[in-house]
Amino acid sequence: MRLNVTGWLMAGGVVLVMIGCGQQSNPGDKAGTANERSERPRASSGQRTQQSQVQSSVYTDPKGFFTVAPPTAWTVQEYPQDPRGKVAFKDPKTGNELRVLAKATDISDIGALISNLKLKEQELGLTMNIEQTVFNGMPAVKRTSTVTMQGITRKMLWIDLLVDGYSHNIQYSSTPSGFDRGYDVAWKSIITYAPTHKQSTPGSADVKKHEVAKWLRLAQVSIESGNVSAAKEAIKVGLEVDPENQELLKLKSQITAK
């Protein structure tokens, strides 16, 4: 099943599809080797100010997937009904966002992840500037793109990690004009991200549960925005993963009844 760009991004398909740390001045810099770069916090004259713009207290994912220190004064949105590790931080003044999504995956390594992302890039006709890098000493993938969804254009940065059978995606997004201005604060927060290393890798049941949660969330968001076509696509794909999922079947019934 091939989804449109809006649906796939909303589902976190990269995210995985949000979606690393070394010396970097901005997301477009080309420092390092062609195949692998190291993402580290960049030094600047305002470094002390940036430090104060990140909370000293660490946010701990209630489901145990990660910790991160969010930007100061940004609002927090949690998703307690979602089995995945998921949170969104938002700057109430600028609308800039920092999102995290962690879930079980059957993608085996960074090479397989890059192949998967490049395939999606081709299918969607969306340039994501996919690069292999190193984030806080871990192999990672970095992507940047400017995307228009439902008439709204956002510039986005994703960092993707694979740790012990779990994918971790960190995503920073802003308006194209505000992306660079908000980047320093967002990056200062991003580099505090630490995956929780599970004692064992996830089983197939975990992968299935988290995959279904992705399509369920996309269907719910699509219905809320009035995009019934995208909701039907998401429900169909979700039921291919879990034909007996009661929440998806209920949404399918609701849409059919309209």
| Predicted pLDDT at 67 | 96
| Predicted pLDDT at 80 | 92
100's CB contacts (< 8 A; 6+ apart) are 18, 61, 66, 68, 85, 86, 87, 88, 168, 169, 170, 171, 193
Q: Map residue 34 onto helix, strand or coil.
A: coil
Q: Residue 22 gets which letter from DSSP?
A: B
Based on the number of CB atoms within 10 Å of its own CB, is 5 exposed (0-12), middle (13-18) or buried (19 or more)? middle
Q: Map residue 7 onto helix, strand or coil.
A: helix
Q: How far apart are CA 237 and CA 135, in angstroms?
A: 32
Per residue in 176-220, pLDDT (tens digit) is 999 999 999 999 999 999 998 665 566 677 778 777 787 787 888
| Predicted pLDDT at 255 | 85
Rounded to 5 degrees, φ, ψ at 81 are -85, -10
| Predicted pLDDT at 199 | 54
| Of 5, 16, 3, 4, nearest in space to 153 by CA | 5
Give 95-148 as a DSSP string. --EEEEEEEE----SHHHHHHHHHHHHHHHT-----EEEEETTEEEEEEEEEEE
State the angle between helix axes of 246-257 and 204-224 in degrees (0 to 180), rounded to the nearest 10.
20
Write out the two tokens for 62.
């209630």
| Predicted pLDDT at 250 | 87
Write out the two tokens for 41.
């916090």
User: Which residue type does 163 have?
Assistant: V
| Predicted pLDDT at 55 | 86
| Of 221, 219, 257, 258, nearest in space to 238 by CA | 219
Please give the angle made by the CA atoms of 182, 186 and 187, to the nearest 5 degrees. 115
First and final CA of the chain: distance in angstroms?
23
Q: Which residues of the chain have pLDDT under 50?
A: 1-37, 40-51
Q: How far apart are CA 68 and CA 19, in angstroms?
A: 14
